[in-house]
Amino acid sequence: MTANPLLDASGVAKNYGAVAALRDASLSVLPGEVHALMGANGAGKSTLVKILTGAISANAGRILIRGEARDIRSPAAARRAGLLPVYQEPSLIPDLDVLSNLRLTGTPVEPFRAWVRELGIPDLDLRETARDIPLAVLRVLDLARALAVEPDVLLLDEMTAALPANLAEKVLDVVRRQGDAGRAVIFISHRFVEISALCDRATVLRDGATVGVVDIKPGVEEKIVELMLGTRVVKTHVAARTAAQKAAPAPARPRIAVRNLRVGTKLNDVSFDLADGEVAGVVALEGQGQDELFAALAGSIKPSGGTIEVDGQPAKFSHPIDAIRAGIAYVPGDRSEALAMQRSVRENIALPFSAALRNWGPIPMRRERATVLSAIQRLQIDTRAQGEVQRLSGGNQQKVTIARWIAADARTILCFDPTRGIDVGTKQEIYLLLRELAGHGKSVLFYTSELEEVQRVCDRVIVIFGGRLVDIFPVEEADEPALMRAAYGLPRGARADVGILADPSANPSDSTSANASDTPEAAP
Amino acid sequence: MSSTAITPAPVPLGRRIKRFMADRPLIPLIILLVILVVILQLLRPGIVNERWIANTIKFAIPLAILAGCQTMTMLTGGIDLSVGTVATMSAFIMATQVVNQDPAVAFLLAMMPAVLIGLVNGIGVGVFRVHPLIMTLGTSLIGTGCLQVYQRTVIASGAKIPDFLAWLGTGVTWGFPNALLLYVPLAGLIVFTLARTGFGRLLYAVGDNERATRLSGVRYWQVITALYITSSVLAGITGLLYIGLIKAPSLSLAEPLVLPSVAAAVIGGTSIFGGRGGYTGTIVGALILTVLTTLLTILQMPEGARRILFGLIVLFVTAAYLRIVEDK
């Protein structure tokens, strides 16, 4: 192609303190193309998007728009330069009606109306307050609002997520026609089906750098998975794991049996077992329903369907205390959700002891000190700054959140991405600890966003995509390429040319369910 | 602060003092209290004597108990503005009922509205998530209204102050106010509750991070309901003590104590955002406010000027104290 790129970013870097979110990202979008931006969790997609749309500024790099260097310092500057994003979260102000929201951004009303009709919503009342509009429609309005100002480059972040089939189809249709009109679209999606149906090229990010630009053609998905994983494809196989090898014979009944669990629209029909003495991994891309799965098991939210059995007894959790009484403890991914930051390490670890009404009286200080100390020693928490948890390092804070449940002797621990943003040494300690817990007959459900952790820690892997459980791997087969493919909803075992790519007219919004049923369902 | 003789990095004196104050937030408060007393003595030589001290303590105690209510509610990020009304109600009911009833019965009747208002506050804040400021302000207005209705029914029977309350409120034995008999155990109990009981732990934890306590199995409404009932009962007891001290039942008896009680807790180092503070600081805070009031009274300023000065000093002290204590 000889046309000059509409948008040409190169050498973009962004550091947060010592952490490099982006090292050397580049992205070149030609007029008239729909360009996919891909990468595993944490590869730097969202950072790059934020930089392109002016939400944050880059530390280094050059951004050319229509060949001119532009300094995009704010969302307004990005808008003037012709770059317009539509984010996953609807950006209409909930307390204003649609018309006021349009005025706020200076969006012309008539084109907006036209686009809304085009996108499959014939009867929109502009006077309706944004809060009362269903999420799916809001996302479409967001898109229409962006289309109405005719941007040169439209950035769509997971546009079809949360859309019902008919709307998704219209949206994809409109996006494709944007390309035909000589404008460009940057399309971020986890769904290969949509990408293959829609995009001309894809830029793949890994570890903050652009590792490849590929043309979308049948069979390219294998190449994309390879690029996303990089050299790690050939690396590591199951490290000798003694604890797992002497795993106890399968117990008569599972510790936790989840059957047909459903949470709103986010989680659908998920069934699996968790046995005593095992670490079961959960692998999913961001926002595929794993948050809801953990929250439902922890009693934070009520499932809208299905059952959870604990030790063979059906359980209904209406508050986390119910789950805790059943021996199920939840360690959230965000440490600030779990810790009272201004309180001491000791108080934080001992917090569950005081929860029940009958424990509101005087605290048996000596016994508590002994319990807390043994938990601190077991996790080797650095207690030099134990007066306030907020003065501890991230890794030590994470240890405190786990130590709490070691001290409380929970039988099942739900660990949601416990190693996010902590140093390598502490990560190793946490892996060891989880294995050790399993060795003592506890059960652990372990969600991780870092695929390489799976083989170090887990006995089995549950893969969730689009709110459905799509596969269960034994750890021996769970190498990173296999997991990555599964996490993207690609069927196991298939190579090269997958049916969905050969048939771009397949209804994209049905893809998740179609994929799920294509997948050999592993019997729990 | 250990004897690091090998690396004598000279920590500037200012920083060292700051560090010291940050570790013991009570010290600067006590220093301030002493300074105020010294100023008073300089302005009116001889005023600071045994009688004056006993008097100051007598007046500081009701304020300190109400400030205890504020301390505990503020630890959870709340506030209890109904303490004034509750104290007034219990005092007024006690004084009017004791005319015809047995004192024990009158006492129970007097404490009833306290428990009720506390319960309503607790349910409103804990279950329906009404902001504590609005919730307690609302119940406070309702309580005042009820008291006005109630007053009509007892206008004929008159009121009297039970001897026991007068003895407790104003009496002095061997130089010590009798009110200390009630207050010392009460203060000890509050300090102990906050530091060494599960309930106290939960107050701090809920104020610091409610979500974290929920994930640890804490039921928010239980903690909050128990808290506001406790606060109201303490306010009721304060009312009984206060009527013994003032000896003139009225419909706005304890109302003037409400805002100073909030100020005392804040001066004492309790954060209105929750999770931080303690009762010992509040006690000193209440003493500081009481001494300050005396100081401004003897300056013989017009009432308006006195209030302006009082407000300015409270603001200044709070801001300065936070700067000293917060180790940034």
Question: Are A395 and A418 contained in the same domain?
Answer: no
B44 contacts chain A (CB < 8 A): no
pLDDT attached to residue A519: 41
pLDDT in tens, A237-254: 444 444 444 444 555 678
B152 touches chain A (CB under 8 A): no
B328 touches chain A (CB under 8 A): no
Q: How far apart are CA B249 and CA B90, in angstroms?
A: 10
Closest among A410, A429, A411 to A419, alpha carbons compared = A429
- Both tokens of A229, joined, read 């994983």
Same-domain check for residues A270 and A405: no
How many Cβ atoms from other residues are within 10 Å of residue B286's Cβ? 28
**pLDDT given at position A192:** 78
Q: Quote the crossing angle between the two packed helices A109-118 and A165-180, to the nearest 10°.
A: 120
Whether A491 maps to a domain, the answer reads no
SS3 B70: helix
- The total number of structural domains in chain B stands at 1
Residue B127 confidence (pLDDT) above 50: yes
Q: Is residue A416 part of a domain?
A: yes
Token reading at A380: 């080797």
A141 and A225 inside one domain: yes
A196 and A166 in a single domain? The answer is yes
CB atoms within 10 A of CB A28: 18
Same domain, A96 and A144: yes
Q: Is the pLDDT of residue B92 over 50?
A: yes
What 8-state DSSP symbol labels residue A330? E
What is the count of residue pairs from A and B with beta carbons less than 8 Å apart?
Answer: 89
Higher pLDDT, A186 or A485: A186
Query: Does residue A461 form part of some domain?
Result: yes
Q: Pseudo-torsion of CA A320, A325, A330, A335, nearest 10°?
A: 70
DSSP A12: E
Tell me the per-residue pLDDT of B259-285, one tens digit each, with 9 for 90 and over: 899 999 988 888 888 888 889 999 999
One-letter amino acid of A289:
G
Domain that holds residue A263: 242-327+411-478
Note whether A347 contacts B204, CB cutoff 8 Å. Answer: yes
CB burial readout A490-502, b (16+ within 10 A) else e = bbbeeeeebebbe
Q: Based on the structure, what is the number of domains in chain A?
A: 3
B209 touches chain A (CB under 8 A): yes
Q: What angle (nearest 5°) sits at the alpha carbon of residue A434, between those of residues A431 and A435?
A: 85
Q: Name every chain B residue with its beta carbon within 8 A of the beta carbon of A359.
A: 198
Domain boundary among the residues A369, A394, A409 is at A409
Q: Which residue of A has its CA nearest to B207?
A: A340
Q: Which residues pair with A15 in a beta bridge?
A: A20
Model-level ipTM above the cut of 0.85: no
B205/A363 touch (CB, cutoff 8 Å), yes or no: no
Q: CB of A228 within 8 Å of any CB in chain B?
A: no
Q: Is the pLDDT at A300 greater than 50, yes or no? A: yes
Q: What residues are paired with A305 via a beta bridge? A: A262
Q: Please give the single-letter amino acid code of residue A85.
A: P
pLDDT at A508 over 60: no
pLDDT of A208 over the 80 cut: yes
> Residues A43, A183: one domain?
yes
Query: Does residue A122 sit in helix, strand or coil?
Result: coil
Instruction: Spell out which residues of chain A touch residue B211, defining contact as CB-CB under 8 Å.
Output: 337
Please indicate, yes or no, whether residues A177 and A296 belong to a single structural domain of this protein.
no
Domain identity same for A271 and A377: no
Strand A267-274 relative to strand A19-29, pairing:
unpaired
Domain containing residue B132: CATH number: 1.10.3470
In chain A, DSSP finds a helix count (H) and a strand count (E) of 20, 20
CB contact under 8 A, A340 and B198: no
Q: Which residue has the tokens 């077991």?
A: A378
What are A110-163's pLDDT values in tens digits? 889 888 888 888 888 888 888 888 877 888 888 898 888 888 888 888 787 767
Q: By the 8 A CB rule, do B310 and B293 touch? A: yes
B213 touches chain A (CB under 8 A): yes
CATH value at residue A132:
3.40.50.300
Please list the alpha-helical segments (H only) found in A342-478. 345-350, 365-379, 394-407, 424-439, 452-457
Torsion, CA A33, CA A38, CA A42, CA A47, rounded to 10: 0
Asked whether residue A269 falls in the same domain as residue A417, the answer is yes
The verdict on a CB contact (< 8 Å) between B209 and A336 is yes
What residues in A contact B219, CB-CB < 8 Å? 319, 321, 355
| pLDDT at position A412 over 80 | yes
Residue A17 clears pLDDT 80, i.e. is over it: no
Percent of chain B surpassing pLDDT 70: 94
Q: Are residues A180 and A214 in the same domain?
A: yes
CB burial of residue A123 (10 Å; 0-12, 13-18, 19+)? exposed
Residue of A nearest to B204 (CA): A343
